[in-house]
């Protein structure tokens, strides 16, 4: 093995779950077949390894899972040999087909047994390498949180292992049949992959680090660094090319400082993170690297999110048959116990219930919404006090407010198809996907003017066609003003409302253009070797 020395004492060797392929936590047993690469990509294709902690539909807590599935799929359509590296969660192992054993790496970072598997993910069909470390990943439920809803105490080692395997796999140390041209690491969980890659003095692999949300930074005590195979020279304080961050280590800073290129998920967010207001303490590093920072707008999977074919909604419809959209609303009103009235505006919100997402603003605006005749159907979970407050609001006005705590993919589709308005009042939002789902379904977004929300939703701006409603974020007064504009259009100019719906549905937000931008970026980086 190359890079940092991994010769450590074999910890926890007695753990039976590490010693058995299926693991004590369950999951399908993995056949002990040594991997031989089939269907090698044509010579000349760019080879990209995406390192990610989530991938839809197997593991998803937010937009990262969607992106990790959709972007490689779109790149494949453009001739890229795009593959994933993901942790071996039960949902991954159980949904991996054509499984082969690539390598048995033995003991690493506190896990007694680490193997790398290869196969195809069900549903998406994506080619995936899997870090099979039962001690770290064969855990049911949320990939980051334990049963107490707190971070797993060993998250730092779990995701350091993901990054370490990613670097070695990209270089060609693990799969003798394949190595990457580009290592593309996604968010803090994969932030150490470019760091480990940089430790190889003769590497011929370029790295891209995508910032999905800068606020989550993967902090860890510096004294843990030796156990993560991190040498002292990359932990020096007071320098930008270091993991040190105000006396701690940071996975996020590692990705920012050691990658060949940085990308984030919208043009506006690329600017916002270089400011003190949006930089979450990392703006200094980002300003130093702004010449190697791109904002490439996320897309959505337009085959999954298509009101004409969506199997999860009550009635399919199109831009040419908007009348059937009303059927989705009346059925949802009935099921949720809301007043059944096709003329009543239904606002939906699908979100984490946090102040960052503006959930507190919606709570404050509820009396005005009821006054304006706007119903609210909410799906999400988050801060306990916000959950309780929304439940109370639903109990007080069950005919106007419906609240579903948790997350259900089918219900999300049905709510978006049923809504007239979708609320995304975030205080900051790197990109956002729900507003694009709303646009696709003719459910007009009402958004704050931040990040990707401002890049995708317009309201009488610079002569652009209006496809929603926009307000300056962070203040309930701005949200209420936007709700009043929406209500005025709804009640007094229904043809204007329908025109805005058609404008929303005519736009395309698929991954094709964004994937082309990424391919151009990869090619530009590879040209630097020449």
pLDDT at 48: 98
For 391-438, the DSSP string reads HHHHHH-TTTEEEEES--HHHHHHHHHH-SEEEE--S--SS-SHHHHH
Question: Is pLDDT above 60 for 34?
Answer: no
| Segment among 177-186, 320-329, 366-375, 464-473 with least mean pLDDT | 464-473
Instruction: Set out the domains of the chain in order of their start, with CATH numbers.
Output: 16-38+45-299+513-527 (3.40.50.2000), 322-506 (3.40.50.2000)
Residue 211: band (very low, low, confident or very high) from pLDDT cuts 50, 70, 90: very high
Dihedral of alpha carbons 298, 304, 307, 312, sign:
negative
Question: Is pLDDT above 90 for 407?
Answer: no
The contacts of residue 246 (CB under 8 Å, 6+ apart) are 281
Distance CA 255, CA 234 (A): 12
Average pLDDT, rounded, for the chain:
90
Question: Is pLDDT above 70 for 245?
Answer: yes
Place of tokens 């193997």: 115
Place of tokens 């997402």: 357
Give the residue among 173, 65, 73 at the shortest CA–CA distance from 120: 73
pLDDT at 20: 34
Number of Cβ within a 10 Å radius of residue 277:
9
Question: Is pLDDT above 60 for 21?
Answer: no
Percentage of the chain modeled with pLDDT above 90: 82
DSSP code for 12: T
pLDDT at 464: 63
Question: Is pLDDT above 70 for 33?
Answer: no
Tokens for 163, please give them. 């990054």
Question: Is pLDDT above 70 for 36?
Answer: no
| Segment among 55-64, 413-422, 430-439, 460-469 with least mean pLDDT | 460-469
The answer to whether residues 50 and 183 touch, using CB atoms and an 8 Å cutoff, is no
Strands 261-264 and 206-211, by their bridges, are parallel
Strands 248-250 and 219-220, by their bridges, are antiparallel
pLDDT at 530: 62
Distance CA 460, CA 436 (A): 18
pLDDT digits (tens, 9 = 90+) for 124-150: 999 999 999 999 999 988 899 888 888
By the 10 Å C-beta count (0-12 exposed, 13-18 middle, 19+ buried), 306 is classed as middle
The answer to whether residues 179 and 155 touch, using CB atoms and an 8 Å cutoff, is no
pLDDT at 3: 39
Tokens for 430, please give them. 């790197």
Distance CA 214, CA 223 (A): 24
Question: Is pLDDT above 70 for 8?
Answer: no
DSSP code for 113: E
**Stated length of the chain:** 530
The answer to whether residues 88 and 143 touch, using CB atoms and an 8 Å cutoff, is no
By the 10 Å C-beta count (0-12 exposed, 13-18 middle, 19+ buried), 5 is classed as exposed
Distance CA 54, CA 63 (A): 9
Distance CA 38, CA 40 (A): 6
The answer to whether residues 461 and 470 touch, using CB atoms and an 8 Å cutoff, is yes
CA 189 to chain centre: 12
Residue 246's SS3 state is: coil
Residue 31: band (very low, low, confident or very high) from pLDDT cuts 50, 70, 90: very low
Give the pLDDT mean for 382-406.
Answer: 96
Residue 447: band (very low, low, confident or very high) from pLDDT cuts 50, 70, 90: very high
- 96 or 40: which leads in pLDDT: 96
Give the pLDDT mean for 340-347.
Answer: 97
Question: Is pLDDT above 90 for 10?
Answer: no
Question: Is pLDDT above 60 for 12?
Answer: no
The answer to whether residues 230 and 206 touch, using CB atoms and an 8 Å cutoff, is no
Distance CA 256, CA 209 (A): 7
pLDDT digits (tens, 9 = 90+) for 49-62: 999 999 989 998 88
Question: Is pLDDT above 60 for 25?
Answer: no
């Amino acid at each position: 093995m190359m890079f940092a020395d991994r010769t450590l004492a074999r910890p926890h060797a007695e753990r039976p779950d590490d010693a058995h392929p299926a693991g004590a936590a369950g999951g399908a047993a993995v056949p002990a077949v040594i991997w031989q690469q089939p269907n090698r990509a044509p010579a000349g294709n760019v080879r990209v390894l995406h390192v990610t902690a989530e991938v839809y539909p197997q593991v998803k807590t937010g937009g990262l899972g969607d992106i990790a599935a959709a972007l490689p799929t779109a790149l494949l359509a453009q001739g890229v040999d795009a593959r994933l590296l993901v942790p071996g969660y039960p949902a991954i192992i159980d949904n991996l087909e054509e499984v082969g054993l690539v390598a048995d790496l033995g003991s690493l970072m506190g896990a007694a047994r680490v193997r790398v598997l290869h196969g195809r993910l069900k549903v998406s069909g994506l080619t995936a390498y899997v870090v099979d470390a039962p001690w770290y990943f064969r855990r049911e439920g949320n990939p980051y949180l334990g049963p107490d809803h707190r971070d797993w105490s060993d998250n730092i080692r779990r995701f350091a292992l993901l990054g370490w395997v990613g670097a070695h796999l990209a270089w060609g140390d693990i799969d003798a049949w394949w190595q990457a041209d580009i290592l593309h690491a996604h968010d803090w969980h994969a932030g150490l992959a470019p760091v480990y890659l940089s430790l190889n003095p003769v590497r011929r692999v370029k790295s891209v680090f995508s910032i999905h949300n800068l606020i989550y930074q993967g902090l860890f005590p510096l004294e843990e660094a030796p156990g993560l195979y991190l040498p002292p020279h990359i932990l020096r304080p007071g320098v930008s090319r270091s993991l040190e961050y105000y006396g701690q280590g940071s996975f996020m800073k590692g990705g920012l400082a050691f990658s060949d290129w940085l990308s984030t998920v919208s043009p506006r967010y690329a600017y916002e993170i270089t400011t003190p207001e949006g930089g979450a303490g990392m703006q200094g590093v980002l300003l130093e690297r702004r010449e190697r920072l791109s904002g490439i707008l996320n897309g959505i999977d337009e085959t999954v999110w298509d009101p004409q074919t969506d199997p999860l909604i009550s009635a399919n419809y199109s831009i040419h048959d908007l009348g059937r959209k009303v059927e989705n609303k009346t059925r949802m009103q009935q099921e949720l116990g809301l007043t059944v009235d096709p003329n009543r505006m239904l606002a939906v919100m699908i979100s984490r219930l946090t102040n960052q997402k503006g959930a507190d603003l919606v709570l404050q605006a509820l009396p005005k919404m009821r006054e304006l005749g706007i119903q609210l159907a909410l799906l999400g979970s988050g801060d306990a006090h916000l959950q309780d407050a929304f439940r109370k609001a639903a109990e007080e006005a069950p005919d106007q407010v419906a609240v579903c705590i948790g997350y259900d993919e089918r219900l999300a589709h049905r709510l978006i198809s049923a809504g007239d308005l979708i609320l995304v009042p975030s205080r900051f939002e790197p990109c956002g996907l729900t507003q694009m789902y709303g646009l696709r379904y003719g459910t007009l977004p009402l958004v704050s003017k931040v990040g990707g929300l401002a890049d995708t939703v317009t309201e009488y701006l610079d002569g652009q066609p209006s496809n929603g409603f926009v307000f300056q974020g962070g203040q309930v007064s701005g949200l209420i003003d936007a709700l009043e504009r929406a209500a005025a259009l709804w009640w007094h100019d229904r043809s204007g409302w329908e025109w805005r719906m058609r404008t929303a549905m005519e736009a395309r937000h698929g991954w094709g253009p964004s994937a082309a931008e990424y391919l151009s970026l990869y090619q530009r980086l590879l040209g630097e070797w020449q």
